[in-house]
Structure 1
Amino acid sequence: MLANSLVALALAFPFAVAQNLSVPSTWRDPSTSLSFLDRVSIAQNCVNTLTAVLDTDTGSFSGLGYWQNANVLSAMANLDYFTKSTTNKQAVIGSLNAAFSLYADYDQYGYNDDAMWWATAAYYGYRAYGNPNLLNHAIATWQHVSNYVITTSDASSGKQPNKDFPIEGSCDGETMVGGVFWRPLNDDASVNSITTGLYIALSAHLAATTRNSTYTHAAILSANFIKTTNMNSGDLVLDSINAQDCTRSSSSWMFTYNSGKYIEGLSVLAFVTGDTSWTSLMLEVVAAATKAPAWEGSDGIITEGADVTEDNDGVGFKAVLIRGLAEAWSCNTGNTALRTLIRSYTDVQYNALLDLASNSSSGSTWYSPAWEGPGPTSFIPWGQLAAVDVLVSAVNVNN
């Protein structure tokens, strides 16, 4: 039902003409001739290298961090969703249930974004398999994180009930309403875009699924916060802002996942509300994010998070951008220019992975987190993490 509704919305609002959605002529290899079955096989084979190091009793993959584990599970669920299969169902559901039983509201270390990565994975699992427990986990975690959203009354009073310091209701003349605190700790003042973007996307997904206006209202407030308070003039999402004194992260802190998660949230929010202004904003962010010198060269290949020596948060960011673009592709069937841009950008990364950054000499295919190559000489778990969303997205956006 949701998919049909998304199609109906996309057909009703097919075009926005202000954005530059053209495909740059300098991009490297922005198409693929691989068949659907070949693309599915490549994606599933990457998943299999990761499930080989999965402990379903904890939902953890050896060599990856807590939030990264949830992103692998997200890709696994989405691959089944796109292919209408249950290949990964047991591993996904078992892992998501195990983590929720171990950590209240998926919060292992005291980070709201960690909790939301897992809640979003639970939502994708619900979408793929219809398992009601996963939807309940997503909702429970959403309710937990909602305690750390700056409300209209918080901004007016200068006090957030779960923080022990006064907050600013506006920064640089723009509202802080809808911003989500990065951590639930009562002394942490950081409001950041990834936690807020995760909250927008999950709120919009839950609104689309439940038709509960509480989720819609929450998504709108937080989407407006990023729009008015935490984007730069080039339509890219900034990183963080301190709610106590309005100090900001450096303007050079430009990370793919901030824009990627916002793109996903805006795409679904446009469906929920029927408000084409969200579609227009999404198109602006897509146009900027797919052509951002901050994280790619003229060939279009993303260079962010290319560390082959050790895992770090940055190696997982770019996969989130590709996943967000895939959601926008699915939500906008009537916009040929947008879908062509997203498919082309995804295929640039896809072909870079297959041609430049892979090694199949072991019998399995290993991927480097450095997508411009060379391929790795050994199994790098975070290289597989970075690659898997591209491989999964390529299954869908080339249909």
Structure 2
Amino acid sequence: MFRFVPFVFLSHSLAAFAQDLGVPLTWREFSNSRLLAERISIAEDAINTILPQLDTSDAQFNGIGYWQSGNVFSAMANFDHLAGTTVYETQVVDGLSTAFDLYSNFDQYGVITTADASSGTQPNKDFAIAGTCFGESMAGGVFWRPTVDDTGINSITTGLFTTLSAFLAETTGDATYTNAAILSAQWIQNLQINTDGIVLDTVDGADCTRSPASWLFTYNTGKYLEGLSVLKDVTGNSAWTTLMTDIAAAAIKSSVWEGSNGIITEGASPTANNDGVGFKAIFIRGLDEVSVRSSDNSALQILIHSYNDVQYNALLELAANGTSYSSSWPGPPQAFTTWGQLAALDVMVTAINTNSP
């Protein structure tokens, strides 16, 4: 059971956390000279090293959970996309088909509509919903769990909904998806960004109490950034671009989850899996989407690829045991673990995309 404590939210003004896009000179090895073919080979070897752990009966990998297994399939699909191959197409399609067959209706968390916020009710919940918290509408927030009595509304589920809605809007042109993405993006913007530009975790939908201010995790910011990068293109609204850029720069340089050398320290767990191990992979993937969609901002693209190179070089030089990697990116190397390999995949795959050929 999570314990919620009151937290006074300060101004979410962009000016409060506008950031410099320069690359910190204290970062460890923020470039690499490996050619494209080598980077593709390194990424493919990393994926092939985790594949023996796949249980095709339930589309999960031994040693990690359901959502973490989903991220392995994401890395496999992204590899094919970036490398221009179909190496993993069959495994990804088969895995997704199996998961969909086994877990029907697995993601019905319930979104708070404007009408829900006004009425204080939501059809999937059996408690009165706070229409506003900290002076802001709760419309757009997404519940963490689908149970009728769970009151948690958090940034990762809302960020996922923002991203999904934005991608659907981009694909279909349907304003229904655009409006849904905007509403959820606004919920995070108005309620869930601290004065350092980092996305917070959870607000209680019944009494507005907030998770501790120290609950700062890379995936909350990473998934929101991914959603914003698509939303800015769908809407053409430069305010989303500004917000995305400022949050990306703040998160990339945050001492919350990295040392002065720039290496991410979050989720280092050599002996046991935990959710935090996979958070940083989602962060790296979100930053890559920001980079891809920021061709008009070379400084931001340089900052992102430099940051990924810090992680890439650390994994290869400090945390590698052959083609497997420790979940502790600053090292030392260790024997293979499924969760350590999971965490490394997005760094290896993203390196295909964020460096010169």
Is the structural similarity TM-score above 0.5? Answer: yes
Question: Which residue is equivalent to 1:329?
Answer: 291
Looking at structure 2, the residues matched to 216 and 235 of structure 1 have their Cα atoms a distance apart, in angstroms, of 24
What is the Cα deviation at residue 19 of structure 1? 3.5
What is the Cα deviation at residue 265 of structure 1? 0.2
The yes-or-no answer on 1:79 pairing with 2:79 is: yes
Task: Report the 3-state secondary structure (helix = DSSP H, G, I; strand = E; otherwise coil) of the residue aligned with 1:191.
Answer: strand
The yes-or-no answer on 1:396 pairing with 2:348 is: no
Looking at structure 1, the residues matched to 58 and 168 of structure 2 have their Cα atoms a distance apart, in angstroms, of 25
Q: Which amino acid aligns with 1:357?
A: A
What is the Cα deviation at residue 56 of structure 1? 2.4
The yes-or-no answer on 1:19 pairing with 2:19 is: yes
What is the Cα deviation at residue 157 of structure 1? 0.7
What is the Cα deviation at residue 83 of structure 1? 1.4
Correspondence list, 1:1-399, <5 A: 19-105=19-105, 107=106, 115=107, 144-145=108-109, 148-360=110-322, 365-376=323-334, 378-399=335-356
Looking at structure 2, the residues matched to 19 and 219 of structure 1 have their Cα atoms a distance apart, in angstroms, of 25
Looking at structure 2, the residues matched to 236 and 303 of structure 1 have their Cα atoms a distance apart, in angstroms, of 16
What is the Cα deviation at residue 214 of structure 1? 1.0
Percentage of pairs with the same residue: 56
Looking at structure 1, the residues matched to 273 and 297 of structure 2 have their Cα atoms a distance apart, in angstroms, of 37
Structure of greater relative contact order (alpha carbons < 8 Å, 6+ residues apart): 2
Unaligned stretches of 5+ in structure 1? 1-17, 108-114, 116-143
What is the Cα deviation at residue 171 of structure 1? 0.7
Q: Which runs of 4+ in 1 moved over 2 A?
A: none
Looking at structure 2, the residues matched to 279 and 85 of structure 1 have their Cα atoms a distance apart, in angstroms, of 31
8 Å contact from structure 1 (residues 31, 344) kept in 2? yes
Looking at structure 1, the residues matched to 62 and 260 of structure 2 have their Cα atoms a distance apart, in angstroms, of 35
8 Å contact from structure 2 (residues 321, 336) kept in 1? no
Looking at structure 2, the residues matched to 248 and 320 of structure 1 have their Cα atoms a distance apart, in angstroms, of 23
Provide, for residues 242-281 of structure 1, a one-character-per-residue CA deviation record: whole Å limited to 9, x for no partner. Answer: 0000011000000000000001000000111111110100
The TM-score, its normalising length taken from structure 2, stands at 0.94
8 Å contact from structure 2 (residues 320, 326) kept in 1? yes
What is the Cα deviation at residue 160 of structure 1? 1.2
Q: Which amino acid aligns with 2:354?
A: V
Provide, for residues 199-252 of structure 1, a one-character-per-residue CA deviation record: whole Å limited to 9, x for no partner. Answer: 111111111111111111110000000000111011110000100000110000
Task: Report the 3-state secondary structure (helix = DSSP H, G, I; strand = E; otherwise coil) of the residue aligned with 2:203.
Answer: strand
Task: Report the 3-state secondary structure (helix = DSSP H, G, I; strand = E; otherwise coil) of the residue aligned with 1:249.
Answer: coil
Structure 1 residues 337-346 or 209-218, which shifts more?
Answer: 209-218
Task: Report the 3-state secondary structure (helix = DSSP H, G, I; strand = E; otherwise coil) of the residue aligned with 1:309.
Answer: coil
Q: Which amino acid aligns with 1:44?
A: E
Higher helix share: 1
Q: Which amino acid aligns with 2:218?
A: T
What is the Cα deviation at residue 20 of structure 1? 1.1
Q: Which amino acid aligns with 2:61?
A: F
Looking at structure 1, the residues matched to 261 and 331 of structure 2 have their Cα atoms a distance apart, in angstroms, of 13
Q: Which amino acid aligns with 2:329?
A: W
Looking at structure 2, the residues matched to 335 and 267 of structure 1 have their Cα atoms a distance apart, in angstroms, of 13
Looking at structure 2, the residues matched to 23 and 164 of structure 1 have their Cα atoms a distance apart, in angstroms, of 49
Looking at structure 2, the residues matched to 382 and 19 of structure 1 have their Cα atoms a distance apart, in angstroms, of 33
Looking at structure 1, the residues matched to 55 and 273 of structure 2 have their Cα atoms a distance apart, in angstroms, of 19
Looking at structure 1, the residues matched to 313 and 165 of structure 2 have their Cα atoms a distance apart, in angstroms, of 33
Question: Which residue is equivalent to 1:137?
Answer: none
Pairwise CA RMSD of aligned residues?
0.9
Q: Which amino acid aligns with 1:24?
A: P
What is the Cα deviation at residue 57 of structure 1? 2.8
Looking at structure 2, the residues matched to 397 and 217 of structure 1 have their Cα atoms a distance apart, in angstroms, of 31
Task: Report the 3-state secondary structure (helix = DSSP H, G, I; strand = E; otherwise coil) of the residue aligned with 2:339.
Answer: helix
Looking at structure 1, the residues matched to 176 and 43 of structure 2 have their Cα atoms a distance apart, in angstroms, of 36
Provide, for residues 80-115 of structure 1, a one-character-per-residue CA deviation record: whole Å limited to 9, x for no partner. Answer: 01112100000000000000001113x2xxxxxxx4
Unaligned stretches of 5+ in structure 2? 1-17
Provide, for residues 354-397 of structure 1, a one-character-per-residue CA deviation record: whole Å limited to 9, x for no partner. Answer: 0000111xxxx110000000011x21110000000000011101
The TM-score, its normalising length taken from structure 1, stands at 0.84
Task: Report the 3-state secondary structure (helix = DSSP H, G, I; strand = E; otherwise coil) of the residue aligned with 1:70.
Answer: helix
8 Å contact from structure 1 (residues 57, 94) kept in 2? no
Task: Report the 3-state secondary structure (helix = DSSP H, G, I; strand = E; otherwise coil) of the residue aligned with 1:104.
Answer: coil
Query: Number of paired residues?
Result: 339
